[in-house]
């Protein structure tokens, strides 16, 4: 395991998810400032994921063609441009555009970072390494609300200025890292789309992302409606992400030793339960507790999903950049769908209907996997 490289990738992923998660505490205030209804708020939340979805396949091609290091540097550049645009935006359209460009950079950072660190790690340690990278992602999501509190208190330009400066420092460090040894080109990426195990793993990432997309639109607005301010909302999301950050390395170690099948089933059923309870919020404390519970259970799907995808790419001789691209498509597509459709459904039919959508997706997937015993397609070994 290359610890220096792992640390670099973890920092890059941290910055990505920091920007992604910044909206929660600031969303009620931004909705007021820019006159956003729930549907428009869903578009703003989903714009980041839409950028990630757009950049996934071009990023996979760039990682294979030019290498992980140049792609990672391009990612940091795009994230900087998007952050400056968001910080200086004076219209809802520019807000959406800034988030979209941040998402483009996020797509490249994920697939290039994952490809780089996975290719430099022995196969029997990859679950643990993925767990650490996912933990860095969650810690970034944990501190995103803290940045959101700063945005609410001091405005967007000063809050984002410091973060952009930190990102530029990381880019300088990344530029000084040794270039990874180029690997021979393998089979075409569409090979993974005819592999059942890869498709099941991508679906698990999709189900988890769908739930998170719904949560990230409705929970901040629900908390604001129940009387929570930006500081309280940020603290609630901080605690929820902290619980998920602690869980991810443990999940990685668990699946390295005992496999993924039972963990995935429990995560699906408990995640469905959490979404169902959130459909009838009784107060700030209940919403906060169920956000943490649902985030931990649905978040437990990401690490095994990434593990299976990377192992199947290796077994099928597909470049790891493409594995990251497909994972980004599943994650970003589901986050965008959950945010945009969830916001629209909540606007038209109430929050309960939107939460029910996420709960049904997790529950039905869990039932299908329970009835298919043993679930051969979930085995992470090639």
| DSSP letters spanning 34-92 | TT--HHHHHHHHHHHHHHHHHHHHHHHHHHHHH-HHHHHHHHHHHHHHHHHHHHH--SH
The DSSP symbol for 183 reads P
Does residue 184 lie in a domain region?
no
The DSSP symbol for 228 reads -
Does residue 182 lie in a domain region?
no
Write the burial class of residue 40 (CB in 10 Å: 0-12 exposed, 13-18 middle, 19+ buried). Answer: middle
Domain of 206 in residue numbering reads as 3-177+189-378
pLDDT, residue 156, reads 84
CATH number at residue 359: 1.20.1250.20
Can you state the percent helix, strand and coil of the chain, rounding each to 5? 85, 0, 15
Query: Using CA atoms, how far apart are residues 2 and 18, in angstroms rounded to an integer?
Result: 24
Does residue 27 lie in a domain region?
yes
pLDDT, residue 381, reads 44
Residue 152, helix vs strand vs coil: helix
Quick one: tokens of 148? 């959101």
Does residue 247 lie in a domain region?
yes
Quick one: tokens of 15? 């910055």
Whether residue 94 is preceded by a cis peptide bond, meaning omega within 30 degrees of 0, is no
Does residue 313 lie in a domain region?
yes
pTM score: 0.73
Does residue 183 lie in a domain region?
no
Query: Using CA atoms, how far apart are residues 65 and 62, in angstroms rounded to an integer?
Result: 5
pLDDT, residue 382, reads 42
Does residue 64 lie in a domain region?
yes
pLDDT, residue 380, reads 44
Quote the number of domains for the chain: 1
Give the other-Cβ count within 10 Å of 71's Cβ. Answer: 27
Digit-by-digit pLDDT tens for the chain (382 residues) are: 578 888 888 899 888 888 877 887 788 888 888 998 888 888 888 888 889 888 888 888 888 788 888 999 999 999 989 988 988 888 999 999 999 999 999 889 888 888 788 777 776 676 678 778 877 877 787 788 788 888 877 888 887 777 788 888 888 888 888 776 665 556 787 888 888 888 999 999 999 999 998 998 899 888 888 888 878 888 888 888 788 777 777 777 777 677 777 788 889 999 999 999 998 767 899 999 999 999 889 988 888 888 888 888 888 888 777 787 788 788 778 887 888 888 889 888 988 899 999 999 999 999 988 877 544 555 544 4
Does residue 33 lie in a domain region?
yes
């Amino acid at each position: 395991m290359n610890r220096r490289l792992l640390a670099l990738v973890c920092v890059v992923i941290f910055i990505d998810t920091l920007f992604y998660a910044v909206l929660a505490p600031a969303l009620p205030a931004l909705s007021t400032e820019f006159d956003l209804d729930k549907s428009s708020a869903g578009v703003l939340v989903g714009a980041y994921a839409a950028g990630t979805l757009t950049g996934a396949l071009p990023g996979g091609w760039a990682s294979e063609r030019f290498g992980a290091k140049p792609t990672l540097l391009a990612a940091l550049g795009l994230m900087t441009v998007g952050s400056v645009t968001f910080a200086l935006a004076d219209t809802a359209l520019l807000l959406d555009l800034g988030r979209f460009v941040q998402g483009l950079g996020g797509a490249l950072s994920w697939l290039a970072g994952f490809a780089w660190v996975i290719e430099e790690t022995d196969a029997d340690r990859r679950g643990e390494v993925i767990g650490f990278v996912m933990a860095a992602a969650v810690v970034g999501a944990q501190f995103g609300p803290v940045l959101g509190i700063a945005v609410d208190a001091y405005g967007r330009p000063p809050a984002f200025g410091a973060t952009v400066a930190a990102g530029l420092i990381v880019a300088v460090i990344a530029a000084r890292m040794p270039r990874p040894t180029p690997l021979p080109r393998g089979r075409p990426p569409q090979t993974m789309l005819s592999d059942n195990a890869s498709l099941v793993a991508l679906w698990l990432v999709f189900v988890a992302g769908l739930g998170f997309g719904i949560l990230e639109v409705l929970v901040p607005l629900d908390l604001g409606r129940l009387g929570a301010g930006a500081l309280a909302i940020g603290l609630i999301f901080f605690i929820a992400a902290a619980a998920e950050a602690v869980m991810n390395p443990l999940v990685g170690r668990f699946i390295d030793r005992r496999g993924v099948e039972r963990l995935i089933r429990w995560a699906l059923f408990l995640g469905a339960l959490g979404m169902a309870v959130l459909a009838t919020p009784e107060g700030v404390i209940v919403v906060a507790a169920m956000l943490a519970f649902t985030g931990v259970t649905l978040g437990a799907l990401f690490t095994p999903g990434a593990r299976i995808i990377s192992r199947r790419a290796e077994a099928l001789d597909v470049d790891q950049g493409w594995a990251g691209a497909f994972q980004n498509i599943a994650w970003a597509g589901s986050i965008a769908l959950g945010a945009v459709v969830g916001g629209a459904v909540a606007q038209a039919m109430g929050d309960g209907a939107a939460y029910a959508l996420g709960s049904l997706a997790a529950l039905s997937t869990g039932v299908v996997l329970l009835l298919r015993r043993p679930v051969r397609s979930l085995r992470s070994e090639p």
